[in-house]
A = this chain, B = another copy of it.
């Protein structure tokens, strides 16, 4: 299939090498080279800014992808659950922060991990610290989670009294080492311009530093600042105002990051291969095996007001890419994906051909699968709880 039309794509994936060509059902396709470039680029940004790089592994959740980070010199990581910490500890990572408010029902697992690795935990409430002080059997690093403006979790950045109380609780326990203040500026995902993003970053840092100065002077020695979101870490100036960064999504990026100007098209490194199961030229739609259980129901609103649940990628010898006018997935049900595709382009496709879909949110799409297939046809295992 070749054409001068930029929208054309698709079925040459049928002819790919290795096991890619023998795919029978929705399958995650990973461009390993591009992923390694994304990793190298973020390592360089962190090094240039002089901040510690503690990448979030919840996006890829793969021991094999983790090795690419390790070979690039990364030695500490972030995860989003204690089970995920267990998985990566078993593959040799020994400095792991669980960047999710600590789940006290998993105290046994906390103690197992704390006895084995340098384990970081997040708290924002005295109840959690009281429980940990009583039940921790080994040293753990405790971060105070701070809400610097996002409004989801954490001590309000203005609540010096609560933060100081938490700091005193930490200082009073010989099992707890203070990590610092940790924040996730998730509202950066809705910034539409770089200056808005920069403003969110600067404001967050100012708020965190102010709170840090207040509690450190009274209760603790120094107060490192850890921040996390991919938009900020990918694009802002003055990243070095933080002490540590924890981005995750940058490893693959996706349509959401592209839509907000955070990544370039050629940086998106994850796609979903889906078989075509129906063609409807009269209504300019095809249906693929690829639905909510594969892509998640995360969506963007397109310029024409329609919801977009993914877009078809073009295939070229260097890999896949998504053009500005790439055919969108306009609706998803449990297993079906409806793609808006003009009849003349359908004529070149057969039922049973594969198409590649770029996901809206790569974290949620990858979550649905137990492995990745690289463009070279290699299988990479992925953690499944």
| Residue positions of A touching B, CB distance < 8 A | 23-25, 58, 80-81, 83, 100-106, 109, 124-125, 127-128, 131, 151-153, 156, 186, 275, 277-279, 282-283, 287, 289, 292-293, 296-298, 331, 333-336, 338, 350-352, 354, 363-364, 367, 370, 384-385
> Closest Cβ of chain B: how far from A11's Cβ, in Å?
12
CB-based contact B275/A105 at 8 Å: yes
CB-based contact B350/A275 at 8 Å: no
Q: Which residues of B contact A278 (CB under 8 A)?
A: 101, 124-125, 153
> Closest Cβ of chain B: how far from A321's Cβ, in Å?
24
> Closest Cβ of chain B: how far from A253's Cβ, in Å?
16
CB-based contact A351/B152 at 8 Å: no
Compute how far the CA of A333 lies from the CA of B25 in the bound complex, rounded to whole angstroms: 27
CB-based contact A352/B104 at 8 Å: yes
Q: Which of B124, B153, B338, B352 contacts A131, CB < 8 Å? A: B352
A287 to chain B: closest residue by CB: B153
Q: Which residues of B contact A100 (CB under 8 A)?
A: 277, 289, 335-336
A127-B351, A292-B296, A352-B131 known; A103 vs B333 contact (CB < 8 Å): no
> Closest Cβ of chain B: how far from A89's Cβ, in Å?
17
> Closest Cβ of chain B: how far from A322's Cβ, in Å?
22
> Closest Cβ of chain B: how far from A263's Cβ, in Å?
19
A105 to chain B: closest residue by CB: B24
A–B pairs, 24, beta carbons within 8 Å? A23-B105, A25-B105, A25-B385, A80-B335, A100-B277, A101-B289, A102-B277, A103-B352, A104-B275, A105-B354, A125-B279, A127-B351, A127-B352, A151-B283, A152-B331, A292-B298, A292-B364, A293-B364, A296-B297, A297-B297, A297-B298, A297-B364, A334-B363, A334-B364
Compute how far the CA of A24 lies from the CA of B153 in the bound complex, rounded to whole angstroms: 20
A156, A333, A384 interface centre (most CB from chain B within 10 Å): A333
